[in-house]
Amino acid sequence: MVKVHGGRLRGGRHRFGIVISKFNHEVTSKLLEGALTSLRKHGVKEEDIEIAEVPGAFEIPLTAKRLAQSHAFHAVICLGAVIRGETAHFEYISQAVSQGLQRVMLETGIPISFGVLTTETEKQALQRADPKRFDRGGDAAKTALEMVELLQELK
């Protein structure tokens, strides 16, 4: 019989750090709302959640690394929004953030959940962030929950 490992959506006594970009606040505040609702729904207590606010998406990887290296958190949830504009800035920031977060996860062994939206328009970002529609913040929290459980199972 093949043994299958998989994470569950259980908060337990796990601690979560959240890094959130203040830039595009209308979008990121909805991502945060969804993430917090999801964490609470799955049993994570308020005292087991800490939030670090950063100026923009570019600063998310460094802050996520600091939280991961602290060993105070079982996972770090990263929330931000990069919306395409008229210059190449979108590509540089999107790529830097995604590659930076992947490096943090691989270097620290701490799950880093990618809740950074990369959209063509603000309307798309608002739809994806809305907890009543796509709820990408809630999805990022669920990913963190599942990864914590999976990695504990694989020890």
Catalytic (active-site) positions: 89
What is the C-alpha separation between 142 and 37, in angstroms, rounded? 10
Cβ pair 11, 48 in contact under 8 A: yes
Q: Are 117 and 82 within 8 A, CB to CB?
A: yes
* C-alpha–C-alpha distance, residues 28 and 54, integer Å: 11
Nearest to 137 by CA among 28, 60, 8: 28
DSSP string covering 47-110, please?
GGEEEEEESSGGGHHHHHHHHHHTT--SEEEEEEEEE--SSTHHHHHHHHHHHHHHHHHHHH--
Strand partners, 119: 83
